[in-house]
Chain A
Amino acid sequence: MTFLDTISQYNYHDVLARIEAKTPADVERALAAPQMRLDDFQALLSPAAAAFIEPMAQRAHRLTVQRFGKTILLYAPLYLSNECTNGCRYCGFNAHNRVPRQTLTLDEIEREAQVLHDRGFRHILLVTGESPRAVDNDFLAAAARRIRHLFSAIAIEVYPMEEPGYRQMVEAGVDGLTLYQETYDRALYAEMHPFGRKRDFDFRLLAPERGGAAGLRRIGIGALLGLGQFRSEAFFVGLHALHLSRHFWRSHLSVSFPRMRPADGGFQPLHPVSDRDFVQVICALRLLLPDAGLVLSTRESAVLRDNLLPLGVTQMSAGSCTAPGGYTGGEESTRQFTIDDDRTPAEFARMIQSKGYEPVWKDWDRAFMEKTEIGV
């Protein structure tokens, strides 16, 4: 049973209608339920729940502290390439955008990685566009091998692969996969991805399962907030997360909620998500998924990130640059999107401490990955 079987039982617009029909009584019941059911999750995503944002936040906070303590795991993205053959209408790397294209060499990747290592990062996320000519599995594996001595944990946020590709990543020292479905609305997905390999909705949808089957220890999913209706998108993200956590239970699950930012190409969000909506989504996801990592990137403003910190977030990036070569002074014009929180990692870590939380730089170890004979 794959997530495709599960999602096929739902109609995207019916789900939205059901969420919008929830009443304050449904929300109260959901907040009081000993076990959260999908019906309760829909209530927490409903317009009716807007009036309950504070009790939702209090619960999300308590639950997060109970499961994770007061810690925030820090990570940084490392962009290897902005070459892309896809036509995602919302993305700065869109093949039609006339921006300088660059794929780093292994030496350049190592220099970028060294900068991030020297800033304290031990968890890193390798990001690329989708260009089979520029970046293939062999290249990614070589990149991971080249820099793995610098990091405890390496995740990839790249094009979806077949299972053997993910196995190759695991062998190269990659332990995590981040892949956003962008939107769970098939029709909108087709509209947003007019050409390129990414047009294949199903292949992308099942990629986290292939990654889990290949032995990746961390799986991250999410929807791009601002494309579809946030209430139904969040519902399907939750549904997807539950499916993965039940079927690929050896992998730790995390959920991101990237909100659309201005990108090269000037695409505007179709359904802008307000800060209040955003908080509602984060809290609802935390209440549905007490043990999932919740990830917040530098897309959001410093003020908002500081305020969101106690509401369920467990992982944050800092000092990010979304252009290949950006950490060693590369071309800034090739960014995937504009970041908002531009504090240095050190400043950001101090902010975390000032809030009574611990910034965690290392929460994994290469020893888990390096297979040696121990005679067991």
Chain B
Amino acid sequence: MDPLIIAGRRFKSRLLVGTGKFSSNAAMVAAMESSGCEIVTVALRRVDIDSPADSLLAHIDREKYLLLPNTSGARDAEEAVRLARLARAAGCEPWVKLEVTPDPYYLLPDPIETFKAAEILVKEGFTVLPYINADPVLAKRLQEIGTATVMPLGAPIGTNKGLKTREQIAIIIEQAIVPVVVDAGLGAPSHAAEAMEMGADCVLVNTALAVAGNPAAMGAAFRKGVEAGREAFLAGLGETRQQAEASSPLTGFLRD
């Protein structure tokens, strides 16, 4: 498969994995391993970033995985920026998945606060991957100020509903000048494959793996779904052929 390039870094895998909700660290690691992922997101609020002994961090091999701290729990730009700075101060690479989710029920991202935080963090030298609703104009505004990707949601976090925002994501993909990561709501390998077939650059999955009967097996299944979707996209999908039925030919005037 062709490499994924984010902010100049190359990755073989186009599947990013989140680390929340797993029944145990062992189950989490098994799912990461089988998924083939190289980037894992970690909620800053969940870990003691200063302490290498933190049980979750201790299980993640930093040689193997790029740790992508996320700011989940932040309710506004100020909180998100503060969290990102803390992570960097603790020695994390300056990569941040920016999440600003003031609404605790659906965890939908706040576009205004996300944009404000992204502006600040980009200026401070962070590689910013913002989590957004599937809003093409917001995606363009963020790309313009220098975010490394855009991460539109397929459905609200944790719902496993699949690509409910398909039409909007298609527009974002069509117009993007940075990689598009479809993030949130993907509940089955077929959802991930669908996003990849549309031309998404990669997907991020967490709940679907964490709550699966067998997270490790589901990690492997998602890996295949992502690869199949990418290969299909590169191969060039056809659609059901619609024969043009001309009542009066438009090019009859051309006489060679």
User: Which residues of A line the B interface, CB within 8 A?
Assistant: 1, 28-29, 32-35, 37, 39-40, 53-55, 57-59, 61, 245-247, 249, 274-276, 279, 303-304, 307, 310-311
Contacts and interface: CB of A to CB of B under 8 A. Distances in A.
Contacts of B140: 249
Contacts, number: 57
Given A53-B251, A276-B256, A33 B246 contact: no
Q: What bracket does the count of chain B residues touching chain A fall in?
A: 20 to 34
Contacts of B240: 32
A58 B246 contact: yes
Given A35-B174, A246-B175, A276-B256, A29 B236 contact: yes
- Which secondary structure dominates chain B's binding surface? loop
30 contacts: A1-B177, A29-B238, A32-B239, A32-B241, A33-B237, A33-B238, A33-B239, A34-B237, A35-B170, A35-B174, A35-B198, A35-B199, A39-B236, A54-B244, A54-B250, A54-B251, A55-B243, A57-B250, A57-B251, A249-B140, A274-B256, A275-B254, A276-B254, A276-B256, A279-B254, A304-B253, A307-B253, A310-B250, A311-B250, A311-B251
B249 A54 contact: yes
B251 A279 contact: yes
Nearest to B240: A32
Contacts of B246: 54, 58
Contacts of B170: 35
Q: Is the contact region of chain A dominated by helix, strand, or loop, or is it mixed?
A: helix
B45 to A, nearest CB: 35
B256 A249 contact: no
Contacts of A35: 170, 174, 198-199
Given A35-B170, A55-B244, A245-B175, 5 more contacts: A29-B236, A32-B240, A59-B244, A246-B175, A249-B140
A323 to B, nearest CB: 31
Interface centre among B140, B236, B246, B249 (most CB of A within 10 A): B236
A33 B233 CA distance: 11
A34 B250 contact: no
A33 B174 CA distance: 14
B254 A246 contact: no
B101 to A, nearest CB: 27
Contacts of A276: 254, 256
Contacts of A33: 236-239
Interface string B217-255: 000000000000000000011111101101001110110
A247 B240 CA distance: 32
A215 to B, nearest CB: 14
A29 B253 CA distance: 26
Contacts of B199: 35
Contact of A247 (B177, B250, B251, B253): B177
Nearest to A59: B244
Nearest to B173: A35
Contacts of A310: 250
Contacts of B244: 54-55, 58-59
B177 A37 contact: no
A367 to B, nearest CB: 22
Nearest to B176: A246
A225 B25 CA distance: 64
B250 A58 contact: yes
A142 to B, nearest CB: 33
A46 to B, nearest CB: 16
A279 B254 CA distance: 9
A246 to B, nearest CB: 5
Contacts of B256: 274, 276
B171 to A, nearest CB: 11
B251 A246 contact: no
Contacts of A307: 253
Question: Ordered nearest first, which 10 A-B pairs have the shortest CB separation?
Answer: A58-B244, A57-B250, A307-B253, A32-B238, A55-B244, A34-B239, A57-B251, A276-B254, A53-B251, A54-B251
Contacts of A54: 244, 246, 249-251
Nearest to A34: B239
Nearest to A54: B251
Contact of A53 (B174, B237, B254): B254
B174 A61 contact: no
Interface centre among B170, B176, B244, B253 (most CB of A within 10 A): B244
Interface string B165-192: 0000010001111000000000000000
Contacts of A246: 175-177
A40 B238 CA distance: 11
A33 B198 CA distance: 12
